[in-house]
């Protein structure tokens, strides 16, 4: 049974964000397909912590040295979507989420830069810790 984290259209309860640690991997091919040019700074394995009170952190590991492997920010529920903001880089995206208890999927509705669409939305995120 799949739990939809996004609320339905007319007056449903606000979506809830599943708290925990999630992981995904982004390949060079994922980035090329989306038109991202800075492959070496955006590929690799990402570990995200969704924290209570509208906060998140993200750590990236790649086979090369990264200029900024750590990110952090906030999220806020608005209507039937959730807005994530990277406070260090002043970029954001809006998404609907679905979570089946193990896999978290971001359906990106809008994003400031194409990298956000790929990193957050190309693949599901697997829950690795509660």
**Could you read off the pLDDT of 64-84 as tens digits, one per residue?**
999 999 999 999 998 889 999
Give alpha helix (H) positions in 20-109.
Answer: 28-33
Q: In whole angstroms, what is the distance from residue 44 CA to residue 57 CA?
A: 16
In degrees, to the nearest 5, what angle opens at C-alpha 118 toward C-alphas 112 and 119? 95
**Could you read off the pLDDT of 98-113 as tens digits, one per residue?**
999 999 999 999 999 9
Place 13 in a pLDDT band, splitting at 50, 70 and 90.
low
Is the per-residue pLDDT at 48 higher than 60? yes
Give alpha helix (H) positions in the chain.
Answer: 28-33, 114-121
Residue 64, classified by CB atoms within 10 Å of its CB into exposed (0-12), middle (13-18) or buried (19+), is: exposed
Residue-wise burial string across 24-40, b where 16 or more C-beta atoms lie within 10 A, e elsewhere: bebeeebbeebebeebe
**Per-residue pLDDT at 78:** 87
Q: What is the mean pLDDT of residues 42-50?
A: 98
Q: In whole angstroms, what is the distance from residue 59 CA to residue 46 CA?
A: 6
Domain parsing of the chain, residue ranges: 15-129
| Arch. (CATH architecture) of 15-129 | Beta Barrel (2.40)
């Amino acid at each position: 049974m799949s739990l939809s984290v996004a609320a339905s259209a007319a007056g449903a309860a606000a979506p809830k964000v599943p708290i925990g640690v999630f992981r995904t991997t982004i390949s060079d091919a994922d980035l090329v397909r989306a038109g991202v040019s800075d492959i070496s700074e955006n590929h690799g394995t990402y570990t995200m912590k969704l924290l209570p009170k509208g906060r998140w952190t993200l750590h990236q590991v790649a086979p090369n040295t990264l200029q900024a492997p750590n990110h952090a920010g906030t999220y806020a529920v608005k209507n039937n979507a959730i807005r994530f903001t990277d406070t260090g880089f002043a970029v954001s995206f809006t998404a609907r989420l679905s979570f089946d208890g193990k896999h978290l999927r971001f359906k990106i509705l809008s994003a400031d830069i194409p990298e956000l669409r790929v990193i957050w939305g190309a693949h599901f995120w697997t829950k690795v810790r509660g």
